[in-house]
Structure 1
Amino acid sequence: MINQYLLKEVISHFDFVGSLLKCEPYGSGHINDTYLLEYKIPHMGVVPIILQRMNTNVFKKPVELMENIMNVTSFLREKITENGGDPERETLTVILNKAGKPYYKDSEGNYWRAYHFITCATGYDEVKCDEDFYQSALAFGKFQSLLADYPAEKLHETIPDFHNTKARFAVFKDAVEKDVCHRAKDVQAEIQFVLEHVDLAHVLGDMQASGELPLRVTHNDTKLNNVLIDDKTHQGICVIDLDTVMPGLAINDFGDSIRFGASTGAEDEKDLSKIECDMHLFEVYTKGFIKGCDGRLTDEEIKALPLGAKVMTLECGMRFLTDYLQGDTYFKTKYPTHNLDRCRTQFKLVSDMEKKWDTMNEIVSKYNI
């Protein structure tokens, strides 16, 4: 828990206007520490602000991370304005500190940043209805479309090899061999599952190297709750949580959405009989994503969307298992086997996708017009 004196120090170094009414923890993110601040401004009412302490154990170069966010949001603001949209609601607005920087480094060495809170919009942790999932797909597809002309190679890698599945596999093997927490003996079935799917760890990298898949600006954490849905129009209006925006593959963004949103159970569901990849939800998302991309993806990228779903699901499960073997140092956990439960749901989804592989490809072909 962050002490109040440190919070006061941080808040005093940002150009917030008005009288502070409230400062409390906010959201359900695994990585950063997030606070909701409310300020009372005369003749304007209450203005909410998001304040975050960046996790520098995960993001080793927070200054480069904020450079990415500033550059991408500035580019998005221009595109949104050109298209007649509202950049105040359709992309994040960073609040500069009093020194004019997009972050503040506190007296203990922590890095903080602040955003305007987008009101009358909600991020959902679970798919409650088809329309919300469809709207998130449109939003992430539009994110690809708007950034299609941005030079992806100029972005920093905020986490090196983040979706380099081959590199993730190497880290996994190292975690198994070192077994620092002596947990490997209890997860042999899960370890074997990864080893049996080693081909998936190489396929996307090989396709990129051969030129089949182009490098793009990617979000890399395309869960449903990273799209804000307007409370009145019920349209997906803003993609948030841009920490992992960097060069990558569009099909990885698609795949991460499917592994999270098309699952019939929670990411940490213990009863694996409840876990399937819902083909109806897969179709809902595929339709929205392809429409949102507005013709900016290549034919090869669209054909590879099911592959992106399977690889991203395996990779995520492998990451959860690796973290479990290493002592739960990356993802926040609520109980000792939390990462293990998470990995098992992902592996169950991979198995289910393999059973439904022909159906997934048929659905993608249906919307690849």
Structure 2
Amino acid sequence: MHDLKAVSSLFDLRGDFVHGYSYGSGHINDTYCIWVDQAGQRLRYILQRVNHNVFKQPIPLMENVKRVTDHALKRLKEEQCPEAYRRTLTLVPSVDGKPYALDADGNCWRVYPFIERARTYDQIETTRQCQEAARAFGEFQKLTADLPGEPLFETIPDFHNTTSRLAALKEAIQSDPLGRVKEVQKEIDWYLSREADCHLVVDYLKSGELPLRCTHNDTKLNNVMLDDVTGEGICVIDLDTTMPGSAIYDFGDMIRTATSPAAEDEKDTSKVTMRMFMFEALVQGYLSSAKSFLTPLEKSLLPFSGKLLTMECGIRFLTDYLSGDVYFKIHRPEHNLDRCRTQMALVESIEAQMDEMKAVVDRY
């Protein structure tokens, strides 16, 4: 483990390091909870090392996080929110006033005050939790909708560019480094038959028909902290992929990750389904905070967004399988293929219910 006391000394914590330990269930960054004694009062902070293998330019990433969190806090204060510092992440500056610190090995670190009396849930258990998490993501987009200045730095270029994802699949099919194409022709044909869908949002963004927004881009529902007492979604976390994007991407990933009862790598695809009651909870929560700024086109594309983001994820799994499983960690030989097929089943469930999904959105 890293020397947490030494790293903590790089930040303006105004106190004495007591102890720290690994914290949370994240797979990308190294996350620790540290206790600091400030004049006799012990407080908790979150200390994180940014994974520079995933995020190649951590300093521009941290400048993004600083801009977004500062602006969200400013907006919350303007609205006279009584819990402004609990409703957004805030960065503790380093001793030299930066929103990050570099250790002796060049690792990039950051510190957030610990948000008390709230937690995240790896498994969403109720429609209320689903609704609250979606409302919090909508609120996050609302708070950052008027972010001033230049566009945010793109921390992972073309992250949700489905045209680029499809092009990468075609390249993997063409090169076929492990000779796997012949085993998965059915899956390849399935995705290629939906090629037009992959271009739709990208083309709308290029033409300006869809606005480029400040979006989270990783809207798994465990990236929202829910209040321990009220269950209210109070704070969106994990801002590393916050960058320019479409509201469609954020809502679509909520549908992909929240509406099916099956695991992402479920072998029995008959268990995969888009549950309408979970979709309605997402719509109700999200539009309660996002309806005021979404354009009519954005709202009309909300049902389609789930299909698009699920296809994108399936394309990535299939591409990785054809390429030799080089990106996603696997635990069995056809793990990525199982994941790919699960996404296909979810897309088909969404397609079968699209008219009803549109009717749900129209009700809100």
- Considering the TM-score relative to the shorter chain, is it more than 0.5? yes
Question: Structure 1 pair 366/276, CA: closer, same or farther in 2 (3 Å)?
Answer: same
Question: Structure 1 pair 133/187, CA: closer, same or farther in 2 (3 Å)?
Answer: same
1:77 equivalent to 2:67? Answer: no
* Counterpart residue number, 2:49: 53
Which residue, out of 227, 241, 244, partners 1:244?
241
Question: Structure 1 pair 341/146, CA: closer, same or farther in 2 (3 Å)?
Answer: same
How far the C-alpha of 1:295 sits from its partner, in A, is 1.4
After TM superposition, the structure 1 = structure 2 runs for residues 111-150 of structure 1, keeping only pairs within 5 Å, are 111-150=108-147
Percentage identity across aligned positions? 49
Question: Structure 1 pair 365/281, CA: closer, same or farther in 2 (3 Å)?
Answer: same
* Counterpart residue number, 2:285: 288
1:20 equivalent to 2:18? Answer: yes
How far the C-alpha of 1:319 sits from its partner, in A, is 2.0
How far the C-alpha of 1:100 sits from its partner, in A, is 2.0
C-alpha distance in structure 2 between counterparts of 1:8 and 1:148, whole Å: 38
Which residue, out of 83, 87, 94, partners 1:97?
94
Contact 2:8 2:17 in 1 (8 A): no
- Counterpart of 2:134, as a letter, is A
* Alignment TM-score, normalising by the size of structure 1: 0.91
Question: Structure 1 pair 332/109, CA: closer, same or farther in 2 (3 Å)?
Answer: farther
Question: Structure 1 pair 8/318, CA: closer, same or farther in 2 (3 Å)?
Answer: farther
- SS of structure 1 residue aligned to 2:265: coil
* Alignment TM-score, normalising by the size of structure 2: 0.92
C-alpha distance in structure 1 between counterparts of 2:313 and 2:203, whole Å: 19
* Counterpart residue number, 1:317: 314
C-alpha distance in structure 2 between counterparts of 1:230 and 1:186, whole Å: 48
After TM superposition, the structure 1 = structure 2 runs for residues 205-354 of structure 1, keeping only pairs within 5 Å, are 205-333=202-330, 337-354=334-351
Question: Structure 1 pair 327/40, CA: closer, same or farther in 2 (3 Å)?
Answer: farther
- SS of structure 2 residue aligned to 1:316: helix
* Counterpart residue number, 2:200: 203
Deviation string 1:85-112 (CA, Å, 9 cap, x unpaired) is 2221101111222222222233333322
Gaps of 5+ in 1: none
C-alpha distance in structure 2 between counterparts of 1:322 and 1:208, whole Å: 25
Question: Structure 1 pair 327/107, CA: closer, same or farther in 2 (3 Å)?
Answer: farther
* Counterpart residue number, 1:173: 170
- Counterpart of 2:33, as a letter, is L
Question: Structure 1 pair 195/39, CA: closer, same or farther in 2 (3 Å)?
Answer: same
Give me the CA root mean square deviation. 2.2
Question: Structure 1 pair 23/341, CA: closer, same or farther in 2 (3 Å)?
Answer: same
Gaps of 5+ in 2: none
Contact 2:20 2:32 in 1 (8 A): no
Aligned residues, how many? 362
1:191 equivalent to 2:188? Answer: yes
C-alpha distance in structure 1 between counterparts of 2:327 and 2:99, whole Å: 25
How far the C-alpha of 1:35 sits from its partner, in A, is 2.1
Contact 2:99 2:110 in 1 (8 A): yes
